[in-house]
Amino acid sequence: MDFGYSDDQRDIQRTARDLLTERARPERVREFAEAGRSDDELWRELSQLGWPGIAVAEEDGGQGLGGIELSILCEELGRSLAPVPFLPSVMAAALVEHGGGPAQRERWLSELASGAIKGALGHADGGSAELVIGAAGADVIVLVEDDGAARVLAADEAEVTAIHSIDPTRSAARVSASDGAGEELGGDVAGGLDRALVAIGAELVGVCERALEMTVAYVKERRQFGVPVGSFQAVSHRCAQMLLETEKARSTTAFAAWVADADPERLPEAAAMAKAAASDAGREVTASAIQAHGGIGFTWEADVHWLYKRAQLDAALLGGAKQQRRRLAGLLAAKVGNVGASQLG
């Protein structure tokens, strides 16, 4: 089986990287992050290209591609840290598409897919979500409770309070809603959540890849005692570990993106594995990048800290590595139990 990208997928990756290299240069990301603003011009351009709807079905107004293509875009946006609400919008769209009924899909999906409106997804406890990325500027918000119940709300049906998060490249807010607000999503909410987990994992892969590239370039140039610091064993071992963590996250996330379309019954396990591996990698790789940059890595002027901040927030979204491993253990235990029961029967 060939797990490489098709020619069309490589074209998507190449186009995305070229565009974001030009439109989301580090100095531009810094400008918007320090101002606390989203790059509306870039968002309009991405919307015109159909990026927000790349994985939304054609009948719902999207491009009708799949999880792999969405992961490619998430990875490239993670590399660039583009200050746009892409991830929260596509996560909200995934919940509406897979968890919503026909009327809800008709109301929200085409506009989410076109970028005409922005979405956000939050994990709520008793109707209140403490940290929802993208919610401050969202038009539609999906809240998912601990018991798996979910509802979709127009922004004016919820109380949205903008807050400052560790990652200023995207807006964040506290969201609360009364019991009767919004509309319940009665479909495959779990399937939508799993696709959201894969999207986060893909973004973290892009963050890790960029942190590794920056670190390798730095340790090749920085010299001590007349030699590049990358020649020191401790530094080279750290970079090797960064590569290992990045590739673990990449392989598990790529598998989960493939499973989302090819074998959805295996998606719960694959999504949990991908999010756990990517969360660990995001934290470890970006922290190692700061360490390997030495004294300058701890300064505001070093761009590597933006990657670290994005990784910290993404790693915790919709459950961190420990939570995903607990979930995976439960899924596997249930599968073993079912197999045992069938054999006894």
pLDDT category at 340 given cuts 50, 70, 90 is low
Per-residue DSSP letters for 49-61? Answer: TTGGGTTS-GGGT
The answer, yes or no, to whether residue 207 has pLDDT greater than 50, is: yes
On the 0-12 / 13-18 / 19+ scale of CB atoms within 10 A, 188 is middle
Nearest to 66 by CA among 221, 212, 258, 228: 258
Topology classification of domain 7-185: Butyryl-Coa Dehydrogenase, subunit A; domain 1 (1.10.540)
Distance of CA 208 to the CA centre of its chain: 12
Nearest-10 Cα torsion for 288, 290, 295, 296: 150
Residue 243: which region, alpha, beta or left (left: phi > 0; alpha: psi -120 to 50)? alpha
Q: What pTM did the predictor assign? A: 0.95
Whose tokens are 């939570």? That residue is 323
Read off the pLDDT of residues 141-155 as tens digits, 9 standing for 90 and up.
Answer: 999 999 999 999 999
**Overall average pLDDT of the 313-330 stretch:** 96
Positive/negative CA dihedral, 165, 72, 277, 142: positive
Q: What average pLDDT score do residues 196-204 get?
A: 98
Boundaries of every domain in the chain: 7-185, 189-336
Query: pLDDT digit string (tens) for 54-75?
Result: 999 999 999 999 999 999 999 9
| Interval 9-43: pLDDT, tens | 999 999 999 999 999 999 999 999 999 999 999 99
The confidence band for 341, taking pLDDT boundaries of 50, 70 and 90, is low
Mean pLDDT for 312-327 is 96
Torsion of CA 258, 146, 91, 206, to 10 degrees: -60
Hey, do 7-185 and 189-336 end up sharing a CATH topology, with the first three levels equal?
no
Task: Kindly tell me the burial class for residue 91, based on how many C-beta atoms sit within 10 Å of its own C-beta (0-12, 13-18, 19 or more).
Answer: buried
> Helices 67-80 & 7-23, crossing angle to 10 degrees?
20
Tens digit of pLDDT for each residue in 262-310? 999 999 999 999 999 999 999 999 999 999 988 888 888 889 999 999 9
Reported as a single tens digit per residue, the pLDDT across 86-135 is 999 999 999 999 999 999 999 999 999 999 999 999 999 988 999 999 99
CATH of domain 189-336: 1.20.140.10
pLDDT surpasses 50 at 1: no
- 106, two tokens: 């008709």
